[in-house]
Amino acid sequence: MYTANFRYSRPKTLAEAEALFHAGVDAKYLAGGQTLIPTMKARLAAPSDLIDLSRLPGLSFMREESNALIIGAGTCHADVAASPVVKKAIPALADLAGGIGDTAVRHRGTLGGSVANNDPAADYPAALIALGATVKTTRRVILAEDFFTGMFATALEPSEIVTEVSFPTPSRAAYVKFRNPASRYAMVGVFVAKRTDGVRVAITGAGHSVFRVPEMEAALAKNFTPAAIAGIAISSDGLNGDLFGSAEYRAHLVTVMAKRAVAAALV
Amino acid sequence: MTALSIIVNGAKVDAEIEDRTLLVHFLREHLRLTGAHVGCDTSQCGACVVHVDGRPMKSCTMFAVQADGSDIVTIEGLAKGGLHPVQAAFQEHHGLQCGFCTPGMVMTAVDLLRRNPDPDETEIRHALEGNICRCTGYLNIIKAIRAVATPGAAPPPG
C-alpha cells in the first residue's frame, strides 16, 4: 500500500526542523511514525512534507534529577521499558511503556510522538497527568494539564516540537489497562499516583482525552486502598462508545481498573 | 526521489527511490527479498518484521528513506551455512502451518532471545503480541521458541 506523495527531509537540528516546517505547505513532523504512517497509508492524512525527527541527536535519553525523571522526546518505548533508571525511579512508567502497542511498535514509537499525537486511547497521557509531569518544547515548558487539550489536540503550536518530559517521582504508582485485544489500545487505562501533595487518578481510553477523577483522588488521599473507591462510579456522559464497548461499559471499567491500579500500586 | 544507502544482510545497497516507498516494498520489489510479507497493511500483523540496526521493526510502517545508513537483517539473512537455530526449532516443532506469518515470527523470536535468552511462556506470548498467525498455530510457535531458550541464562548487560 502506498501513501500519497510527499517530500521527505531529515533535519540535523531542531531549528532546521522548524524552518523546514514553516517552508512546507502542509508539513508534518515524523517521530516514530507508528500512528502517522498507518494513517497516511489509509489516506486519512496526506501531508505535503514529512520532516523526520527520528534521527535528531540528543533527544533519546533518560536521567534522574532531583526527585524527577527526565525522558527525551525521541526515546522509544522499548528503551523506557527496559531502562534500569526508569525501573528504579518510576517502575509504573516502565510497565506502561512495556505495554504500548507491541514489540516492534515499541522499538520505533517515541514518547514525544505519543504525547504530541494525544490519541484518546494512548497510554502516556495518563502517566503525564497522574504524575504531574511537565512537557518541555522548543519554546517553553507546559504543565501536562495544560498540554492535553482534547481529542488528538494539544497546546503545541503548529511547528513547536516536544523535546523532553519531566516526571516528578511519586511515592507509589501503578498503571493498568483493559486492552482491546486486537489493537492493544486501552479501552480504559488508569494511572494512579500517590504523591507528597496527594493522590492523582488519570484515565485514558474512556473519554475524548485523558481526565482525572477528583472523587477517587479525595477518597484515596484519606485511605489508599481499593476498597476506598469501590463505591465511586463515574458518569458515562461524554465517554467513548464504539463497537468495542459502550460508554456505560467504559464507565464501569473505570472503577474496576482504578481499583486494580491501587492494588498494583500497593504491591 | 531520494538517494538511499543501506546495508541489507551484510551487503551494501545504493538506490534512488521515491520518498513514499515503504521499507517492505523496497525490500520485496526493488531487492526481490520477498521473505518479509505484507499481511495486513494496517501495522497489526507483524509478518513484515525485519531488524533495523538490531531492533525488530515493522517494515510496512517505516519509509525506506528513514532507514538510510542503517544495517538491516531480513529473514533471508539469518541462515548462515545451515538454518538459524530458531528456524531449525520452528521446523523441528512444527512452528508453522501455512507459513505466511513465519518470517515475522522468527525475526521477533530471534530478537526476544537476544534480549532475554531464557524467556518463559508468558514472556514469549508478550513478545509475540504483534505477530498474528492466521492459522492460530501459536502453541507450536511458543514450543519452538522455548526449545532454543538457554535455561538459566541471564539477559546481556545493558
pLDDT band at B157 (very low <50, low <70, confident <90, very high): low
Give the torsion through C-alpha atoms of A240, A91, A30, A27, to 10 deg.
Answer: 60
Across the interface, do A33 and B61 touch by the CB < 8 Å criterion? yes
Chain A residues touching B65 at Cβ < 8 A: 8, 10
Residue of chain A with shortest Cα separation from B50: A104
Same fold, B2-77 and B85-148: no
CATH number, domain B85-148: 1.10.150.120
Could you say which architecture CATH assigns to the domain B2-77?
Roll (3.10)
Bigger pLDDT: B69 or B41? B69
In chain B, domain spans: 2-77, 85-148
Query: How many Å apart are CA B133 and CA B124, to the nearest integer?
Result: 14
| Numbered residues of chain B with Cβ closer than 8 Å to any chain A Cβ | 2, 18-22, 25, 38, 41-44, 46, 49, 55-58, 60-63, 65-66, 68, 108, 111-112, 115, 127-131
Across the interface, do B66 and A54 touch by the CB < 8 Å criterion? yes
A244-260 pLDDT tens trace? 999 999 999 999 999 99
Write the CB contacts of B43 (distance below 8 Å, at least 6 apart in sequence): A34, A37, A38, A105, B58, B60, B61
Across the interface, do B62 and A33 touch by the CB < 8 Å criterion? yes
- Under DSSP, the state recorded for B63 is B
- Cα A131 to Cα A234, B15, B153: the distances in Å are 21, 47, 36
Which of A3, A38, A78 is the closest to B20 by Cβ? A3
Chain A residues touching B18 at Cβ < 8 A: 5
Question: Of A107, A114, A253, A265, nearest to A199 (Cα)?
Answer: A265
E strand segments, A34-182: 49-52, 62-65, 68-72, 134-137, 141-143, 148-150, 153-154, 162-168, 172-179
Task: Encode A232-245: b = buried (16+ Cβ within 10 Å), e = exposed.
Answer: bebebeebbeeeeb
Task: Encode B108-140: b = buried (16+ Cβ within 10 Å), e = exposed.
Answer: bbbbbbebbbebeeeebeebbbbbbbeeebbeb
Amino acid at A266: L
Distance from CA of A91 to the nearest CA of B (A): 17
Across the interface, do A1 and B44 touch by the CB < 8 Å criterion? no
The pLDDT value given to residue B150:
87
- Report residue B127 as a C-alpha cell: 513478545
Across the interface, do B20 and A108 touch by the CB < 8 Å criterion? no
Structural domains in chain A plus CATH codes: 7-52 (3.30.43.10), 62-168 (3.30.465.10), 172-266 (3.30.390.50)
Query: How many Å apart are CA A175 and CA A189, to the nearest integer?
Result: 7
Amino acid at B14: D
The interface pTM score, or ipTM, of the predicted complex is: 0.95
pLDDT in tens, chain A (267 residues): 799 999 999 999 999 999 999 999 999 999 999 999 999 999 999 999 999 999 999 999 999 999 999 999 999 999 999 999 999 999 999 999 999 999 999 999 999 999 999 999 999 999 999 999 999 999 999 999 999 999 999 999 999 999 999 999 999 999 999 998 877 889 999 999 999 999 999 999 999 999 999 999 999 999 999 999 999 999 999 999 999 999 999 999 999 999 999 999 999
